[in-house]
Structure 1
Amino acid sequence: MSTGTKRAGIAATRAERAVAEALDLVDAGGLEALTMRQLADRMGLHLPAIYRLFDGKDALIDEMAEAILAGAVAKLPGEDGDWKDRVRAMAAGLRTALLAHRDGARIVGGNYAAKRSNLTFVDSLLGGLLASGLPRQRAIWATSAVFCYVLGETLEEQGATGDEVEVLKSVLGKRKYGHLEAGPVEPMLDFDERFRFGLELLLAGVDALVERR
């Protein structure tokens, strides 16, 4: 093995460790708590060493997103079986991967890096939606809709502080929002059931589009 190859391998291993350490920092203090200097201190490195691994914080976050999405890729279903079951499994796997890390949805959201885990997951999701019978262009849009739905729902879930029901009830008690006041409030913040319902709504929409062809 050449010296250059060894150095590249060491750098890759160090970058992988840096991503894991960065995710630990976010798990402990949130995305705002992550700085390149803090990461360097945690790893016992000088700051320039971190910048040799990543061009900047955005590049680091891209790699963190890739690591999170690798968790979803690891749970991808096979290509056999009903397309709806496949899409359900992929959406649930993505949600689980995002929830595995604090601010996981924020890290992945807006990430357009053309990296392996990202592209593998989206390609598999597209395959599931193509199996529904949608034309390719609509299947691509449906893929984006499902992916963004999971991101949005998870983003709201991860932003919840736990007192939302009480806050809503106190506001709605002022009798300015008739439809909402009719309640109940609790289902609005039942993230598991809400997620399942919204996903079924999207799948029903795909079915409706296919039937119109």
Structure 2
Amino acid sequence: MSMQGSGGAGTRKGPIRPDTVVDAALALVELGGLASLTMRRLSDALGTQPPALYRLFRDKDALVDAMADAVLASALGPLPEADWETRVSVLAGRLRAAMLGQRDGARIVGGSYTSRQPTMALADSLLAAMEEAGFTGETAVWAMTTVFSYVLGEALEQQGRTGVDLEEAQATFSTEDYPHLARSPLAALLDFDTRFAFGLRMITAGLREGAQGFPPG
């Protein structure tokens, strides 16, 4: 995909579509990270001027909301005809894959509150599973956000990891000052797939046990 209009910045002919802007924005983030995205840089990549973008998105936050929906759209799809725990696990896995599939995907999605179809469809599916588990009212909403926040947090951790050598760092720990850290297999922190699966099992087990113990309000 070319990120530059054929005639250079500000020479695009014809109207520009919102989905074209979102695709270009995600491509720019893929190249330089979310911090590199500006409306000026985006308009240059599209061969137009910033006012053309602001006619479609009132500000950068509105654009990022639309980008979040585009990221989450890849998590949509039919769910297996299975119990609520299986459906939650499938949805959580899809959400994680969607965020990890885009550079800074978790940062794009985090804090985005949109009413577009992808976000609403995923929220509705999670809420249906929570209600099947036995949660009602506010507790169903909180159970849903517990799962979503876990997935988001794990994706943020994985995408934000640094090049720190945990084994090397562990070798410097004083057994007197940090006895538990010194004898722990800290390299497991970077086994993101396994730790995600473990945490998700813990959450679904807790939800299964707690569904009847947390009355609304």
Query: What TM-score does the superposition give when structure 2 sets the normalisation length?
Result: 0.86
Counterpart of 1:37, as a letter, is: R
Q: For residues 158-209 of structure 1, what are the alpha-carbon distances to aligned partners after superposition, in whole Å with 9 as ceiling and x for unaligned?
A: 0012334246425535752111111111112211111111111111111111
Q: Is the 8 A contact 1:105 1:154 kept in 2?
A: yes
Match of 1:85 in 2: 86
Q: SS where residue 172 of structure 1 aligns?
A: coil
Aligned 8 A contact 1:168 1:185 in 2:
no
* Partner residue in 1 for 2:5: none
Deviation, structure 1 residue 133: 2.0
5 Å-filtered alignment, 1:139-158, equals 139-158=140-159
Partner SS, residue 75 of structure 2: helix
| 1:41 matched residue in structure 2 | 44
Distance in 2 (alpha carbons) for counterparts of 1:208 and 1:136 = 18
Three-state SS of the structure 2 residue aligned to 1:45 is coil
Instruction: Provide, for residues 124-147 of structure 1, a one-character-per-residue CA deviation record: whole Å limited to 9, x for no partner.
Output: 011112111223332211100000
2:29 corresponds to which of 2, 21, 26: 26
**Aligned counterpart for 1:69 among listed residues 59, 62, 72:** 72
- Once the two structures are overlaid, the 10-residue window that deviates more, 166-175 or 145-154, is 166-175
In the aligned structure 2, how far is the partner of 1:99 from the partner of 1:157? 8
Shift of 1:109: 0.4
Q: Residues 88-125 of structure 1: CA distance to partner in whole angstroms, max 9, x if unpaired?
A: 00000000000010110011100112221111100101
Give the Cα separation in 1 of the matches to 2:114 and 2:168.
Answer: 38
> Mind listing any 5+ residue stretches in structure 2 that lack a counterpart?
1-13
State how far apart, in whole Å, the 2-side matches of 1:134 and 1:82 are: 15
2:43–2:49 CA contact under 8 A, matched in 1: yes
Partner of 2:124: 123
* Cα pair 2:167 2:186 within 8 Å, conserved: no
Bigger helix share = 1
How far the C-alpha of 1:212 sits from its partner, in A, is 4.5
Residue pair 1:64, 1:107 contacting (<8 A) in 2 also? yes
Equivalent runs, 1:112-191 vs 2, <5 Å? 112-166=113-167, 168-169=169-170, 171-172=172-173, 175-191=176-192
Q: Which runs of 5+ in 1 are unaligned?
A: 1-9
1:19-46 C-alpha deviation (Å, 9 max, x unpaired): 0010010011000000001100101111
- Write the distance in 2 (CA, Å) between the matches of 1:167 and 1:141: 40
Separation in 2 of the partners of 1:95 and 1:132?
Answer: 22
Q: What residue number does 1:55 align with?
A: 58
Q: Summarize the Cα distance change of 1:26–1:166 in structure 2 as closer, same or farther, 3 Å threshold.
A: farther
Pair 1:166–1:135, CA change in 2 (3 A): same
Runs of 4+ with deviation above 3 angstroms: 210-213
Instruction: Specify the SS of the correspondent of 2:162.
Output: coil
How many matched pairs?
Answer: 201
Helix, strand or coil: the match of 1:53?
coil
Give the Cα separation in 1 of the matches to 2:152 and 2:196.
Answer: 11
**Alpha-carbon spacing, 1:121–1:49, altered in 2? closer, same or farther (3 Å):** same
Where 1:111 maps in the other structure, the secondary structure is coil
Which residue type is aligned with residue 148 of structure 1? S
Percent identical pairs in the alignment equals: 44
CA RMSD of aligned residues (A): 1.9
SS in structure 2 of the partner of residue 16 of structure 1: helix
